[in-house]
Amino acid sequence: MNIINIAIKEIKREFRDVRTLVFMLAFPIVLMLVFGAALSSAFDSTISVGDIHVLYKDKTTGEFSTYVREFIKEAKKSDIHFKKASHHVDGRRMVKQGDYDGYMEIDNKGIHLYTNNKNSVKGSIIQGMVTAFADKYNMVTAVAQVKPTQVHMLMNNGHHDDYIKETSLHSKRQPSAMDYYAITMTTMIALYGAVSASYLIRGERIRKTADRLLAAPIHKSEIFIGKILGSMATNLLCIVIVIVFSKFVFKAYWGHHLTLVCLVVFTEVLFAVSFGLGISYIARTEGAARVIVLVVIQLASFFGGAYFKIDATSTITKFITHLSPLTWVNTAITKMIYANDLSAIFPAIFLNVGLSALFLLIAGMSLTRREGL
């Protein structure tokens, strides 16, 4: 019962500190809004090909010429524009210079296509489109030899405005700027719980209330556990509010496993509180503890991708980024949300819990050796 009372007392004290409470709630929400709006274009994965311009010479006669004109008319609906060249124009040279994306010479024997290698995407589109037309015409020619009455119906069947259909083996859902910063700002502010945790015990000594706590019929371990639970409950409540706000106000995508997301964040809060408490006993002064905690948080936020994505390509960069607790947590949550990889949460949970146990052991041993708190 003493543990619960101390935890409730710690929660009340944290919520009376309006400045800290506003920081824990307003700071991540404002950063989400600023970064999500300012860097939205950096997360746009849509690629626009633009209009495609093709120069052609038509030397066809008879029925094939009619089919070619229909083909050019249909291609225009997909922003593929054909321009007929006069006989004296050197189409190959104009494509080589980049004036056109492709050049076709069409006669009754077939189609000769030339594309600009500087834009392989447009060249591939033109090549695929022309190949489809040639294959269809060859099929019509074969049908005409057997059933000439079916030719007209076959050529006019299946006109489409889209010549390319893309099918992905992975989910098309990719994090937008708001989705990305909803995750990173939430995990970053969870790590800031270490700042208030560094004052959990030291604050009692500063306020001269440590002696009164020791004089009360309460064991040191009850004070220790109660304060940790109270700090964790306060920080976790702030994190849940930030997640709910980003989900329903900013429309950030948190996937279909929000309970597991909260579990991962819970272990991060446990690590943050344990880290702050352990540093408060390792450091000799209040100022030293605060500086150490803030420096570690800022470095972890920077290398953990809280402010911008870090593409770790070299071995050294990968090693440095993976030292950040935010890298573990952000990677786990992102894989769970966008790849449905639930197993990705276990490394983050084990690392957070393992390091938490280490710092709690340091703090607990230091507490037992002291006469006071």
Residue 233 belongs to some domain of the structure: yes
Confirm whether 69 is domain-assigned: yes
- Residues 290 and 344 reside in one and the same domain: yes
- Mark whether 310 and 221 lie in a shared domain: yes
- What is the model's pLDDT at position 101? 82
Task: Copy the structure tokens of residue 52.
Answer: 């495609």
131/271 same-domain check: no
In this prediction, residue 152 carries a pLDDT of 59
Q: Which residues pair with 107 in a beta bridge?
A: 110
The pLDDT value given to residue 44: 59
Amino acid at 148: P
- Name the DSSP class of 306: S
Residues 107 and 202 in one domain: no
Per-residue pLDDT at 248 exceeds 90: yes
Report how far residue 242's alpha carbon sits from residue 293's, in angstroms, rounded to the nearest whole number: 22
Question: Which pLDDT value is given to residue 170?
Answer: 46
Question: Could you tell me the two tokens for 245?
Answer: 């706000």
User: How much of the chain, in percent, has pLDDT values that exceed 70?
Assistant: 84
**What's the confidence (pLDDT) of residue 218?**
81
Q: Mark whether 142 and 196 lie in a shared domain.
A: no
What CA–CA distance (Å, rounded) separates 94 from 119?
14
259 vs 95, more confident: 259
Is 168 contained in some domain? no
Which pLDDT score is estimated for 169? 42
The whole-number pLDDT of residue 317 equals 83
Q: Tell me the mean pLDDT in the region 348-368.
A: 92
- 51 vs 12, residue with greater confidence: 12
Say whether pLDDT at 38 is over 90.
no
Q: Are 36 and 100 in a shared domain?
A: no
Give domain status of residue 262, yes or no: yes
Structure confidence by residue, pLDDT tens digits, 125-135? 777 777 877 77
236 plus 292 within the same structural domain: yes
Give the pLDDT band of residue 176 (cuts 50, 70, 90).
confident
pLDDT above 60: residue 284: yes
Residues 253, 353, single domain; the answer is: yes
Let me know whether 151 and 202 are in one domain: no
Question: Residue 353: which domain range?
Answer: 2-40+180-369
pLDDT at site 116: 73
Q: What is the mean pLDDT of the chain?
A: 82
Range with the poorest average pLDDT among 82-91, 205-214, 280-289: 205-214
User: Which tens digit of pLDDT belongs to each residue from 198-244?
Assistant: 888 877 777 777 777 777 778 888 888 999 999 999 999 999 999 99
Identify which of 162, 322, 186 has the alpha carbon closest to the alpha carbon of residue 250: 186
pLDDT range class, residue 115, cuts 50, 70, 90: confident
Higher pLDDT, 111 or 173: 111
Mean pLDDT of 298-311: 88
Q: What is the pLDDT of residues 328-340, one digit of tens each?
A: 999 999 999 998 8
With respect to residue 140, please indicate whether it lies within any of the assigned structural domains.
yes
In terms of domains, do 209 and 347 share one? yes
The total domain count for the chain is 2
Both tokens of residue 56?
């052609």
User: Quick one: 147 and 272 in the same domain?
Assistant: no
pLDDT for 168 beyond 50:
no
Q: What is the mean pLDDT of residues 117-130?
A: 73
What was the pLDDT predicted at 167? 47
Model pLDDT, residue 212: 76
Specify the higher pLDDT residue, 254 or 85.
254
Q: Is residue 213 part of a domain?
A: yes
Give the C-alpha separation, 231 to 271, whole Å.
12
SS3 169: coil
Report the CATH number at residue 66: 3.40.190
Tokens in use for 223? 């004070």
CB atoms within 10 A of CB 211: 12
Q: Which has more pLDDT, 66 or 49?
A: 66
- Residue 295, pLDDT score: 94
Clarify whether residues 25 and 81 are in a common domain: no
pLDDT at position 266, please? 96
pLDDT band at 54 (very low <50, low <70, confident <90, very high): confident
Domain finish residue from 155, 190, 218? 155
